[in-house]
Structure 1
Amino acid sequence: MSEMLTIRAVTREDYQRWLPLWDGYNAFYGRSGATALAPDVTAITWSRFFDAYEPVHALVAESDGELLGLAHYLFHRTTTTIAPLCYLNDLFTADAARGKGVGRALIEAVYDAARRAGSPRVYWQTHETNAVAQALYDKVAERSGFIVYRKAL
């Protein structure tokens, strides 16, 4: 990266540069080919970033006019705090930008957004096999010890 890294809110004009990152993120988690997200899911996800009534937000990392990473986060109420918690829903860095501080910068930007919103905590999950990401996460957060259960309906 020859220019300084900039973390900023996504804009409508970013769609064509955001989409390959989004596709890469989904492919990383096995959502491609026959198991790809339906196009309407991507369309609705994108539209939520620009809807003031949605608690969903998107950041991108940019250098030299190229988008190198994305972070999507949302705020939600909980029964254990008055202020909403911040859930880092998606985090992805382009292959060529890995190990260069892009992921950390995106996480720090989400922390800043959560602080500004008065949120007492940011949390996220990753797959147990994602050891590379966990090496970073162990430096910027603490493991909660919780195990995630889910059931498709």
Structure 2
Amino acid sequence: MTEIRPLTSTDREAWLPLWHGYIEFYESEVSDEQTALTWNRLLDPQFPIHGAIATGDGGRAIGFVHWLTHAATWSATPYVYLEDLFVTPDTRGTGAGRALIAHVTQWAREHDAAKVYWLTQETNATARSLYDRVATRTGFVHYEIGPMP
């Protein structure tokens, strides 16, 4: 059974391999300094980034979700951006990803947010099969400029 709970300072050793797996999945690199900064932000109650960890049988960490809130021009209440979602390869398809999304959705309701939204790669078929069941595909195309010098 998957359990979801907010990250605490004692979760760093369980979170770190998941974080590295997430970065590796996206074939990217994040410095140790940025990893430390991200971890500290996740635990800082004054910072608008939040995190939760998923545990499976025996309490083993199997996934995480990170989200942030921001003001919006189209809403009096904030939006919630689900920035990072990761579930270990051996537990994909078990409901852990769905539970992590549900956790963020419930948090958004409790904090009077207007909506929850996120992005993923077009080629991320496993995740997209879940996303297509729990959310509405908006049809927007993502663009970015960066990294900034």
TM range, normalised to the smaller chain?
over 0.9
Matched with 1:18 is: 15
Matched with 1:27 is: 24
Whole-angstrom distance in 2 between the partners of 1:44 and 1:109: 23
1:26-45 → structure 2 map (5 Å cutoff): 26-31=23-28, 36-45=29-38
Matched with 1:149 is: 143
Give SS of 2:10's match: helix
Q: TM-score, normalised by structure 1?
A: 0.93
CA RMSD of aligned residues (A): 0.7
- 4+ residue segments displaced more than 4 Å: none
Q: TM-score, normalised by structure 2?
A: 0.96
Whole-angstrom distance in 2 between the partners of 1:76 and 1:108: 19
Sequence identity percentage? 44
Give SS of 2:43's match: coil
Which sections of structure 2, spanning at least 5 residues, go unmatched?
none
> What CA deviation, in whole Å up to 9, does each residue of 1:59-115 have, x standing for no partner?
111121210110000100111111110000000000111110000000001000000
Q: How many residues align structurally?
A: 146
Q: What is the letter of the counterpart of residue 37 of structure 1?
A: V
Which sections of structure 1, spanning at least 5 residues, go unmatched?
none
Q: Say which of 75, 96, 109 aligns to 2:103.
A: 109
Give SS of 1:75's match: strand
Q: Does 1:52 align with 2:49?
A: no
Matched with 1:65 is: 59
Whole-angstrom distance in 2 between the partners of 1:61 and 1:22: 13
